[in-house]
Every structure is written in C-alpha cells, then in structure tokens.
Amino acid sequence: MILCRKIDEVKNILKNLKKQCKSVGFVPTMGYIHEGHISLVKKALEENDVVIASIFVNPLQFGPNEDFAKYPRNEKRDLAILDSNNVDIVFLPENDEMYGNNFLTKIRVDKLSDVLCGKSRPGHFDGVCTVLSKLFHIIEPDRAYFGLKDYQQYIIVKKMVSDLNFNIKIVGLPIVRDDDGLAISSRNIYLSPENRKTALCLNKSFNIVENLLKNGILEPSIIKNKIKEYILGFKNTRVDYIEIVDTETLEPLNEFKENFLLALAVFIGNTRLIDNRIFSLKSYNC
C-alpha cells in the first residue's frame, strides 16, 4: 500500500496509473476506519483496477461547537486496516496541504443542504462539498463510494456531481450495522456502555414504523410522534430531528408517497447519532 501525504505526490502516482488505463475507485473517509468504510473498500475493489482511500478530518464540515478537535483519530490502526483490506493507495494530507493558501472557495448545494442535518449543522454540507470537490480533482476517480448512513450527504454529493458535470459515478452502499442493529459510526466510540444500549432506540424505531404501516397507519405526523415518544422514553435522549421526507428532494412529506425516507438524529448523552431507512409502502401492502 502506498501512503501519500502530498497532493502532487498522489497526483503523480495516479497519472501513471491512468496512463495505463487503470480505473480508479475512491473511498473518502475521515479515518477511524470501521466496517462501514470496509464495505465501501470491498465494493470499490470489485469495480475498479485501483482503490484509493483518503483520510482527512475536514475542519470545514465541523461547526464551531462541534467535535472537530476530539473527533477520533488513529492513523496507525487505520493504515493497518486499509492495508490488510487491499487498498492500493492512501491519501492522508495535513490540514495545511488542503487549505494552506488563504482558502476562499465554497461549494453549496441549495435546498438539499438546508434540511435534516443541514438545519442542525449550518455550513456542514458546504464543507463536505468543498472538500470532496478538491479530492475529486486531485484523484479524478472513475467512481466514488459513500455509505447510506449519511443519506443526505449521498444525495447532496450526487446532486453536486450532476449539476457541475463531474465525470465521476457516485455509488451509495447500504448502512452497515453491528450485530445488535446499531448503525456503525466512528462516533459510537463516544458512547458509555449504558448509552450504547440506549442508542439501539434509533434502529428499533424502524420496527415501530413497520408495525404502524402494517396496521395501516399512513399519517407521517402520527408516525413521527410515536417514534419521538418511544425515543424520549429512554434516559439521556434528546431528539434533534425525526423526519419523513422524499427520497430524492428530501422535502418533508405530509402525505406518504410510494417510497419515503425516515431520517433520525438523536443525542444519546452528548453524542449525536444519525440513522435512516427507506420504506416502500408496497412491502406493507399499503
């Protein structure tokens, strides 16, 4: 596995590979590699000649009161895991390498960035789009891989890529869960053993939705209230949002469509967790 810390270095290596007509799959990460990332790596290995992962905790996508400073980092461990999973190249730049030169540019996807996590984290998706645009230009991959746990991110990145005519295919892959159902996230490490148990309420609230749908309850507002009630029944929980939205426009639905996204953001203690699922009414004979 090749490790590059400099932009010019990684560009040169990729230039040579592209001259040999190798296809390039890209897995952008903020490190603290987990099974979710590995599922992206595996798919990228299937679909491309070369796989490159980036590790960069992007300050632009953290708000002033968020966890940029304490976001978990473990370079040595990350590199060992990526290596043993057959990643070919890791790009691991310093902050200065990315934003050193009096950085002034910002990319924004309107509307889609203003709802759900974008509402609670103003500027977050601008930061995501901006850093990805840089990484896409540096790496020029054929395909880039994203986990659907960050469903809104996936939709926004797809929209940016389509609007700006990036020559990259964006691939979204299913949420990877621990055996007990908790969506895997680097932030799970913040949870105390007790809160770790409580955190299952995010995933379990999907069962509540299933039951309501099966019983013919088709009112988004009722469903959202039932989930809220359920989650707030646990100690140390605070709801950031519970939303039922269109799977493409992310606009709130007051009436159900055939498919809808249920998206949650819940604080368990001080840790903000997100989860989501797409429901198809057909599956419930609605």
Q: How far apart are CA 98 and CA 134, in angstroms?
A: 8
Of 159, 224, 272, 277, the one binding a copy of itself by CB under 8 A: 159
Half-sphere exposure of 160 (CA within 13 A, CB side): 25
Q: What residues are annotated to the active site?
A: 37
Q: Are 34 and 80 in contact (CB under 8 A)?
A: no
Q: How far apart are CA 226 and CA 231, in angstroms?
A: 9
Of 7, 13, 212, 286, the one binding a copy of itself by CB under 8 A: 7
Of 5, 6, 73, 106, the one binding a copy of itself by CB under 8 A: 106
Least distance from C-beta 133 to a copy of itself, angstroms? 5
Per-residue mark of binding to a copy of itself, 64-103 (x: CB under 8 A): -------------------------------------x-x
Which residue stretch of 57-65, 69-77, 155-163, 233-241 sits at the interface with a copy of itself (rule: CB under 8 A)?
A: 155-163
Q: Are 125 and 111 in contact (CB under 8 A)?
A: no
Of 40, 79, 82, 109, the one binding a copy of itself by CB under 8 A: 109
- The tokens for 110 are 């309107």
Least distance from C-beta 261 to a copy of itself, angstroms? 18
Sheet holding 259-268, edge to edge: 237-245, 259-268, 271-280
φ and ψ at 139, to 5 degrees?
-100, -30
The vertex-12 CA angle with 6 and 13, nearest 5°, equals 95
For tokens 């596995």, the residue is 1
Q: Are 141 and 168 in contact (CB under 8 A)?
A: yes
17 binds a copy of itself (CB under 8 A): no
- The tokens for 7 are 């932009």
Toward a copy of itself, which CB reaches closer, 138 or 274?
Answer: 138
Residue type, position 62, single letter? F
- The tokens for 37 are 């990332």
Of 20, 64, 76, 165, the one binding a copy of itself by CB under 8 A: 165
108 binds a copy of itself (CB under 8 A): yes
The vertex-41 CA angle with 264 and 4, nearest 5°, equals 110
Of 80, 164, 189, 222, the one binding a copy of itself by CB under 8 A: 164
For tokens 């679909």, the residue is 47
- The tokens for 28 are 């952008």
Which residue stretch of 165-173, 210-218, 264-272, 277-285 sits at the interface with a copy of itself (rule: CB under 8 A)?
A: 165-173
Toward a copy of itself, which CB reaches closer, 124 or 134?
Answer: 134
110 binds a copy of itself (CB under 8 A): yes
189 binds a copy of itself (CB under 8 A): no
Least distance from C-beta 152 to a copy of itself, angstroms? 13
Least distance from C-beta 130 to a copy of itself, angstroms? 8
List interacting residues with a copy of itself (CB under 8 A): 7, 11, 101, 103-112, 129-130, 133-134, 137-138, 140, 159-160, 162-167
